[in-house]
């Protein structure tokens, strides 16, 4: 399975928690769309011998784009790629962008999955995050999407907000369930250094409140979603009827993906590359048929660490059979040594040949995963 990620960096407003590359101006929109299609044309050799299973429009705010822009991008992909008949095409949407006209345009373009950035149904939460929409708009956007025949809908909810509490968080999950949506992506509030939120949290000493809310609300999240019969197939992802995000699963399963656009990342199984995070330079370079990017070749340690990171986040877990097949014996010895202590405290359980995090272990996933990593300065007497 292989996927294409399209980065759309435009936003109406800066959310205070976001550290993705974005700009709050549309002055480059037309030139940027031309550059995206040019990049796809220039990279067509990378699509040889692979069939594309997923296309994902992320951002930024892809729902800002009009039908013509989306058509031009998808048309360029279809001309250069072999597409799977069962293609998943996802677009991230803000609730305030969703209208009957826009939804009909998505249908006409064969976009069949919506990822709606609700984040919360509570107005105080939304004001804190500097979101453009309110809670009523969020609910209306979901209902409107369902009324237009979209069934594969995911929404995002953020837990751990300092404006939130257990009552508010449970209400968020109740509203989610009310719509019988097939998928939920729920993330903890993360305070990144290069965001507006970072200075606000430091100024008002919110760190402890956020930390407590994250732990308490994550426990509630797991409990409530289990009660609703949703599968927690990845730490932040829940679905019913196996309605996984195919695109995100390609990341977690180590599949190839190609990132198109400013700041977009690609991975071919060995090499990771990423476009520079500067939209003006991106447009200028593509106008001159130049692809400017950074890259790194992953060595055995990198690939091992990558597999540990992605596999342990999933419900299917880390396969010891795969580890033995792909990596040196010293790596396996290191894995067994580190994993044992987490089995003893019931953070990790073994299911057949796979090691999986327990619900308790998910609370400490970063610690478990980092301890299983092999650092560059760690001497395991391995000949690469």
Residue 154 structure tokens: 């995911």
Q: Write the CATH number for 348.
A: 1.10.10
Order of strands across the sheet that contains 348-351: 318-319, 354-357, 348-351
Give 382's DSSP letter.
Answer: -
Asked if residue 219 and residue 77 are part of one domain, the reply reads: yes
Determine, yes or no, domain membership for 263: no
For residues 36 and 260, is the Cβ–Cβ distance under 8 A?
yes
For residues 131 and 119, is the Cβ–Cβ distance under 8 A?
yes
Tally of domains in the chain: 2
pLDDT for residue 169: 98
Q: How confident is the model at residue 375 (pLDDT cuts 50, 70, 90)?
A: confident
Asked if residue 142 and residue 63 are part of one domain, the reply reads: yes
pLDDT for residue 381: 56
pLDDT for residue 194: 75
For residues 330 and 368, is the Cβ–Cβ distance under 8 A?
no
Give 380's DSSP letter.
Answer: -
Asked if residue 336 and residue 245 are part of one domain, the reply reads: no
- Per-residue burial over 302-322, b if 16 or more Cβ lie within 10 Å, else e, is eebbebbbbbbbbeebbbbee
Our CA dihedral for 326, 331, 335, 337, rounded to 10 degrees, sits at: 150
Asked if residue 203 and residue 77 are part of one domain, the reply reads: yes
Q: Examine the fold and report which residue of 225, 250, 275 is the final residue of a domain before the chain moves on.
A: 250
Range with lowest mean pLDDT among 121-125, 135-139, 205-209: 205-209
Q: What are phi and psi of 256, to 5 degrees?
A: -70, 145
Packing angle, helices 67-80 and 100-108, rounded to 10: 20
Asked if residue 100 and residue 42 are part of one domain, the reply reads: yes
The DSSP secondary structure of 300-332, one letter per residue, reads: HHHHHHHHHHHHTTBSS-EEHHHHHHHS-HHHH
Residue 327 structure tokens: 């990596």
Mean pLDDT in residue range 315-324: 96
More confident residue, 98 or 209: 98
Asked if residue 201 and residue 100 are part of one domain, the reply reads: yes
Range with lowest mean pLDDT among 12-16, 187-191, 249-253, 363-367: 12-16
Residue 132 structure tokens: 């453009």
Asked if residue 307 and residue 236 are part of one domain, the reply reads: no
Radius of gyration of the chain from Cα atoms? 21
Mean pLDDT in residue range 345-364: 96
> Rounded to an integer, what distance in angstroms lies between the CA atom of residue 276 and that of residue 295?
10
Q: Examine the fold and report which residue of 216, 250, 284 is the final residue of a domain before the chain moves on.
A: 250
Mean pLDDT in residue range 339-343: 96
Determine, yes or no, domain membership for 77: yes
Asked if residue 307 and residue 244 are part of one domain, the reply reads: no
Determine, yes or no, domain membership for 255: no
Q: Is 50's pLDDT higher than 90?
A: no
Tally Cβ neighbours within 10 Å of residue 345.
Answer: 12
- Per-residue burial over 231-249, b if 16 or more Cβ lie within 10 Å, else e, is bbbbbbbbbeeebbbbbbb
The strand pair at 271-275 and 265-267 is best described as antiparallel
The strand pair at 293-297 and 256-260 is best described as unpaired
- Give me the percent of the chain exceeding a pLDDT of 90: 84
Determine, yes or no, domain membership for 294: no
The pairs formed by 105-110 with CB atoms below 8 angstroms and a separation of 24 or more are 105/66, 105/67, 105/70, 106/70, 106/150, 107/148, 107/149, 108/67, 109/67, 109/70, 109/71, 109/74, 110/74
Asked if residue 162 and residue 16 are part of one domain, the reply reads: yes
For residues 73 and 6, is the Cβ–Cβ distance under 8 A?
yes
Determine, yes or no, domain membership for 103: yes
Q: Is 384's pLDDT higher than 60?
A: no
Q: Examine the fold and report which residue of 185, 217, 250 is the final residue of a domain before the chain moves on.
A: 250
Determine, yes or no, domain membership for 110: yes
Mean pLDDT in residue range 11-35: 87
Asked if residue 362 and residue 228 are part of one domain, the reply reads: no
Range with lowest mean pLDDT among 126-130, 190-194, 219-223, 275-279: 190-194
Determine, yes or no, domain membership for 295: no
Domain that holds residue 344: 300-372
Q: What angle do CA 311, 264, 117 make, to 5 degrees?
A: 75
Asked if residue 236 and residue 88 are part of one domain, the reply reads: yes
Q: Where does residue 49 rank: exposed (0-12), middle (13-18), buried (19+ CB within 10 A)?
A: exposed
Q: Write the CATH number for 78.
A: 3.80.30.20
Determine, yes or no, domain membership for 89: yes
> Rounded to an integer, what distance in angstroms lies between the CA atom of residue 347 and that of residue 366?
12
User: Using one digit for the tens of pLDDT, what is the confidence trace for 251-306?
Assistant: 999 899 999 999 999 999 999 999 999 999 999 999 999 999 999 999 999 999 99
> Rounded to an integer, what distance in angstroms lies between the CA atom of residue 3 and that of residue 341?
37
For residues 183 and 230, is the Cβ–Cβ distance under 8 A?
no
């Amino acid at each position: 399975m292989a996927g294409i990620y399209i980065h759309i960096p435009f936003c109406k407003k800066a959310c205070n928690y976001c550290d993705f590359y974005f700009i709050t101006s549309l002055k480059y929109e037309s030139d940027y769309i031309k550059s995206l299609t040019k990049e796809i044309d220039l990279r067509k050799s990378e699509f040889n011998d692979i069939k594309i299973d997923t296309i994902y429009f992320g951002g930024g705010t892809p729902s800002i784009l009009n039908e013509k822009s989306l058509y031009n991008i998808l048309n360029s992909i279809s001309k250069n790629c072999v597409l799977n008949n069962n293609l998943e095409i996802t677009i991230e949407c803000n609730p305030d962008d969703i209208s009957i006209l826009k939804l009909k345009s998505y249908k006409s373009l064969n976009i069949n999955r919506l990822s709606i950035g609700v984040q919360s149904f509570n107005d105080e939460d939304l004001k804190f995050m500097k979101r453009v929409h309110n809670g009523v708009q969020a609910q209306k956007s979901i209902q409107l999407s369902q009324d237009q025949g979209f069934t594969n809908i995911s929404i995002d909810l953020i837990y751990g907000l300092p404006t939130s509490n257990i009552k508010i968080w449970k209400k968020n999950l109740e509203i989610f369930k009310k719509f019988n949506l097939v998928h939920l992506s729920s993330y903890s509030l993360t305070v990144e250094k290069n965001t507006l939120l970072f200075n606000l949290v430091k100024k008002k000493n919110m760190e402890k409140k956020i930390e407590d809310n994250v732990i308490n609300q994550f426990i509630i999240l797991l409990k409530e979603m289990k009660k609703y019969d949703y599968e927690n197939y990845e730490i932040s992802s829940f679905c019913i009827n196996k309605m996984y995000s195919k695109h995100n699963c390609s990341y977690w399963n180590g599949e190839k993906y190609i990132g198109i656009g400013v700041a977009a990342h690609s991975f071919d199984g060995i090499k990771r590359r990423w476009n520079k995070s500067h939209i003006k330079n991106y447009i200028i370079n593509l106008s001159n048929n130049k692809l400017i990017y950074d890259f790194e070749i992953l060595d055995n340690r990198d690939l091992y660490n990558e597999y540990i990171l992605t596999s342990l986040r999933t419900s299917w877990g880390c396969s010891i059979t795969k580890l033995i097949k792909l990596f040196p014996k010293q790596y396996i010895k290191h894995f067994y040594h580190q994993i044992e202590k987490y089995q003893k405290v019931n953070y990790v359980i073994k299911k057949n040949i796979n090691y999986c995090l327990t619900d308790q272990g998910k609370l400490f996933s970063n610690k478990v995963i980092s301890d299983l990593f092999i650092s560059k300065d760690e001497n395991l007497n391995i000949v690469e």
